[in-house]
Amino acid sequence: MNLAKLLPRMFLGSSRLKKRKLFSVLCLLCVQVALSQQQISGTITDDQGIPVAGASVAEKNTTNGTVSDFDGNFEITTNSSNAVLVFSYLGFKTQEIPVGSSSTINVVMQEDLEQLSEVVVIGYGTQKRADVTSSVATVKSEDFVQGNVKDAAQLIQGKVAGLSVSAPSGDPTEGTQISLRGTSSILGGTNPLVLVDGVPGSLNTVAPEDIASIDVLKDGSATAIYGTRGTNGVIIITTKKGSNDMKSTIEYNGYMSLSTIANKLDFLDANELREKFNEGYEFNGANLEDYGANTDWVDEITRNAYSQVHNLIFRGGNATSNLTASINYRDIEGTFLKSNSEKYTARVSANHAMFDNRLKANIGVILSEQTYNALGDGSSFNPYIYRQALIRNPTEPVKDEEGNWYERDVYFYDNPVAYIQETIGENKFRNSRFDFSLSYDFGDHVTMKGLYTRKGETNIRGFYQTKNHVSTTKNGQDGYASRGTDDYVGNYGQLTLDYDNSFGKHKVTGLVGYNYEDNTNQGFWATNRRFPTDGFTYNNLGSGQGLQLGEANMGSYKDSDKLIAFFARFTYNYDNRYLLMASLRREGSSRFGEDNKWGNFPGVSLGWRIDQESFADNWDWLSNLKLRTGFGVTGINAGSNYQALSGLTYGSYFLNNGQWVRELVPSRNANPDLRWEKKEEFNVGLDFGILDGRINGSVDYYNRTTKDALFNYSVPTPPYFFGTIAANVAEINNKGFEFLLNVTPVKTENFDWTANLTYSTNTNKIVSLSNDEFQLTNDFFDEGYTGEPIQISTHRVQEGQPIGNFYGLKSVDINDDGIWIIERPDGSLVPATEATTDDRQILGNGLPKSYYSWNNTVRYKNWDLMVNLRGALDYEILNFSRMFYENPTITYNTLDSAYDLVYGKTELQDVQRFVSYYVEDGDFLKIDNITLGYTLPKDAIKFAQTFRIYASGLNLATFTSYKGIDPEVNRSGLSPGNDERDKYPSTRTFTLGINFTF
């Protein structure tokens, strides 16, 4: 028995181990006592000598078989003397060994690099990788991005072709932005459905350290079984779990990290401003004169952010029960003062088997509590503060001689340090999830499973601006406080019936199921002002006098919705050569119109394993070749509740006989035709593996069209009561290629190098924005907004064009007066002062046409090194910071570059304008993650089974011509590529971590 050797393995591939255990229990039950002719025993180990428990040992062409025990030992009595034993186990190559006369056979299992036998999680079940006919990617924990990740999605950043994950904000309470295969909806966003152990959740439901693997269902034939929200893909998170007959273990993961602003903008510092004064520059507003101090305002409100994360997992089990319990603590600091997030997450999952393992039960609980400071009313970060630090005169002091905050009366100009220090706020969130499931194996290939989950999320918020805050010192509010709370409760239930059988060369599985989900949201908030003291902060709202003076606000709401579905799936496998999967989901949502609540979402996919054909027998170099194709229909639910119902609202006030009464006005048109947005997707792919899987990968092509896409159309009143209506009108097409290549260039006893490359493309096009009923005669609408004082839209959404087009004036030159020269669409040139909105044209597109990544893992003896590179190509970014601050005429502090000669000719003297000069090439390459780890030799620490320390860096270096802070900017919505000037800057993080198990 060599537990010391076994346990390290378990944590490298824990989910695999779980299957192994379950399988072993099942097999033990199956073994029947038989007449013996020859008794054979032995040990099964992997190539590192670690015992393989639960491996199947079968006598070929008989029903005789057994499984290895916990220490890899097996015993079998064969029926014939010339027996051949077949050794197999998930993740390893199957071996056939003739027994001959030996009574002891020790088997060394070779790992199957192609992982064809790897289990892939698909909707409502699992499938062997070899049998998968749609586009599904799997990332295991050993391949996760390490370090201070924001959420589950960042674990697989750059690991899945076609899945773009970016972290545009450095706010510790903000997650990542995800998009899969382009933007498929106008109003529906790009967020995929996230399932945590089979139940809809979020990327933050469980701690990243608690995740064993993440599967991504990409194409329509795979996601059609999830109909409703399958359009943007499905991310399936599987948590780390214990298994039966498992020795009790405790696993610890922890790290400390340091984050800094990745890149700072170069604004004039105090000395540079004085130089400008000396050169004769005169400014209005902020930089009116030298106030004598040297203040770096961004430094004053930022810091080196130190964070710590600790994660403990307890696991263990006996023959019929097992338990997993984990607790996670994350204390994350943001780079701005007071910006933070402190979160506790605990998870317990207990499995219990009865009646000879036929009845299996699971009870699970996930609880979390998160607290963070609120610098904005209800939000973690207040972008206004960062803006004030950027634009403030660097010669102003933070405080005056008397110790008061230094303030001046300039338009929208407040001391950012005061703003932070005189604001007190806290948001607290609590999440809970209770799972209960039962499954019963009827024995004749039929299993039934029921699952019920109750989810809840509550938050309570408090916010206070003291009497020293500008809300009082400039705007006379005499203290401002607000409180608010929201409450969410959801019920989720699911009932499935599984069938699984083989008839000779025919393998069949079937699934039918029912799904119920409801969600209820409610909440209220209130504000008040004119407090007698700062001492109460937000804790005594009633003590303010604003309520009596009509200056207090309050509100409350409640809404709910339901989703109900029936679904079925059928798979067929003939001789491991021809594969078929077909599914159908019929789903209804309460949000839709009376006549259109239900939608049907079919999916079908086919696979052909070419390498299994007889003509491929001689192609020894070929280990896998599979052609896949599929078609599926998925839907997007309406964005908010009650959109189909006509609505009335008590609106603004009206003076009636000396009293103010509320008017009653229509707020929404009835739309009984409101129905599902449907996306049809065709996918064709090829999986390949050569040289024993040393080189393997896949290529996919997809073409997806969203029909009946929802958009808020302007409608004439009358006949409509309200001026806009959400209608299913638009059509959007996305197509592209995805390449994945895994290569193991070196694999020796002491040295391994595996490389993983992905490349994906996307071409987006808005096919139509109108139908017979709803028309845009000009086939476009404008989106995005520069904000004050430029006040113009940034993007145009137009038929025949892709989403994300920048639309504005094309600057080509500057005249002697420092005014932009604009090239009109007809090619003629005019000064910007004479250009009109009709002179605008397409200036680029904010969505990358392709993404690529190159991930390397190198192991040398006990050292491991991961280097991940990532990038995006062929897109533009509108640099708001330059558009607003690279201009010497403004009344605030400017970028150093504001005094550069434009087009090498003259300084800019024009007003702030949205012109193509600020639309920059966004292409980039990032050295995103480097991790160096060292695993202590096995006997170095007695109590620990494994002990690894590592150092990691995130967002380490960026190669780009983009002049802003980070070329990974907001890519969601209809105005992607706008690098907003107030964005919380992204961070660079260095991490030192330990993992150990004992």
Partner 1 sequence: MKNINNKVFSLKTRISILAACAFLVQLGCTDLEEEVFSEVTEASFTPSQSDIVSVMASAYTPMRYVMGWQGWFDLQEEPADMFVTPTRPNGWDDGGTYKRMHFHEWTSTQWQPRNTWINCFNGINSANRVILQIESGQLPVSDEQATAIVAEMRALRALYYSMLVDSHGNVPIIASYSDELPVQSTRTEVYNFIVSELTEVIPSLTETVDVSTYGRMTKWAAYHVLARVYLNSEVYAGTSNWDKVIDACDKIIASGAFELSDSYSDIFSTNNEGNSELVFAIPYDQIFAGQWNAHMKMLLPDHRLVFGMQAQPWGGSSCNPQFIDSYEPNDKRLSDTWLMGDQLNASDGSVVMTLVKEMPSIYDCDFTDGFRCGKYEIEPGATGGLSVDFPFLRYTDVLMMKAEALLRTNKSDEAATIVTQVRTRSFDNLADATVTGAELEGDTTVQYGTLAEDGTIADAGDQTAVPYGRFLDELGWEFAGEARRRTDMIRFGVYQTKSWYNHTPKGDYTTLFPIGLEELNTNTNLGQNPGY
Token pair, residue 760, equals 């994906």
Q: Which is nearer to partner 1, 203 or 511 (CB)?
A: 511
Least distance from partner 1 to the Cβ atom of residue 440, Å: 8
How far is residue 316's CA from residue 311's CA, in Å, rounded to a whole number? 17
Q: Which is nearer to partner 1, 329 or 598 (CB)?
A: 598
Least distance from partner 1 to the Cβ atom of residue 670, Å: 7
Q: Which is nearer to partner 1, 703 or 906 (CB)?
A: 906
Least distance from partner 1 to the Cβ atom of residue 736, Å: 32
Q: Which is nearer to partner 1, 31 or 627 (CB)?
A: 31
Element spanning 796, H or E? strand 795-798
Least distance from partner 1 to the Cβ atom of residue 442, Å: 6
How far from the centroid of its chain's Cα atoms is residue 227's Cα? Answer: 20
Q: Which is nearer to partner 1, 280 or 718 (CB)?
A: 718
Q: What is the CA radius of gyration of the chain?
A: 31
Least distance from partner 1 to the Cβ atom of residue 909, Å: 9
How far from the centroid of its chain's Cα atoms is residue 951's Cα? Answer: 24
Nearest to 267 by CA among 893, 979, 878, 889: 893
How far is residue 244's CA from residue 321's CA, in Å, rounded to a whole number? 6
Token pair, residue 129, equals 């990788």
Residue 551's φ and ψ, nearest 5 degrees, are: -105, 0
Least distance from partner 1 to the Cβ atom of residue 287, Å: 11
How far from the centroid of its chain's Cα atoms is residue 1's Cα? Answer: 42
How far is residue 86's CA from residue 65's CA, in Å, rounded to a whole number? 9
Nearest to 792 by CA among 806, 780, 802: 806
DSSP-based three-state secondary structure for 651: strand
Residue 275's φ and ψ, nearest 5 degrees, are: -60, -40
Least distance from partner 1 to the Cβ atom of residue 650, Å: 7
CB distance 550 to 574 below 8 Å: no
Nearest to 681 by CA among 233, 221, 229, 225: 221
Q: Which is nearer to partner 1, 652 or 748 (CB)?
A: 652
- Identify the bridge partners of residue 858 per DSSP, sorted by sequence position: 753, 865
Least distance from partner 1 to the Cβ atom of residue 964, Å: 22
Least distance from partner 1 to the Cβ atom of residue 26, Å: 10
β-strand pairing of 695-714 with 724-747: antiparallel
Least distance from partner 1 to the Cβ atom of residue 805, Å: 18
Q: Which is nearer to partner 1, 6 or 481 (CB)?
A: 481
Q: Which is nearer to partner 1, 255 or 413 (CB)?
A: 413
Looking at the chain, the number of H-run helices and the number of E-run strands are: 10, 51
Q: Which is nearer to partner 1, 522 or 862 (CB)?
A: 522
CB distance 588 to 567 below 8 Å: no
Least distance from partner 1 to the Cβ atom of residue 668, Å: 9
Nearest to 790 by CA among 962, 901, 958, 914: 914
Q: Which is nearer to partner 1, 514 or 701 (CB)?
A: 514
How far is residue 607's CA from residue 628's CA, in Å, rounded to a whole number? 4
Nearest to 41 by CA among 125, 88, 109, 106: 106
Token pair, residue 84, equals 């051949």
Q: Write down how long the chain is.
A: 998
How far is residue 902's CA from residue 880's CA, in Å, rounded to a whole number? 17
Q: Which is nearer to partner 1, 549 or 957 (CB)?
A: 549
- Identify the bridge partners of residue 954 per DSSP, sorted by sequence position: 929, 989
Q: Which is nearer to partner 1, 535 or 789 (CB)?
A: 789
- Identify the bridge partners of residue 38 per DSSP, sorted by sequence position: 78
Least distance from partner 1 to the Cβ atom of residue 28, Å: 7
DSSP state of 638: -
Least distance from partner 1 to the Cβ atom of residue 777, Å: 5
Q: 696 CB contacts (<8 Å, ≥6 apart)?
A: 113, 114, 623, 624, 687, 688, 689, 690, 741, 742
Q: Which is nearer to partner 1, 440 or 536 (CB)?
A: 440
- Identify the bridge partners of residue 855 per DSSP, sorted by sequence position: 756, 868
Q: Which is nearer to partner 1, 274 or 358 (CB)?
A: 358
DSSP-based three-state secondary structure for 278: helix
Q: Which is nearer to partner 1, 33 or 35 (CB)?
A: 33
DSSP-based three-state secondary structure for 996: strand
Least distance from partner 1 to the Cβ atom of residue 771, Å: 14
Return the exposure string of 442-452: e unless at least 16 CB atoms fall within 10 Å of the residue's CB, then b: eeeeebebebb
Q: What is the dihedral of CA 349, 353, 354, 360, to 10 degrees?
A: 80
Least distance from partner 1 to the Cβ atom of residue 665, Å: 4
Token pair, residue 110, equals 């070779």
Q: Which is nearer to partner 1, 378 or 493 (CB)?
A: 493
Least distance from partner 1 to the Cβ atom of residue 837, Å: 6
DSSP-based three-state secondary structure for 510: strand
Least distance from partner 1 to the Cβ atom of residue 397, Å: 21
| Cis, peptide link before residue 789, omega less than 30° from 0 | yes
How far is residue 807's CA from residue 978's CA, in Å, rounded to a whole number? 12
Q: Which is nearer to partner 1, 749 or 772 (CB)?
A: 772
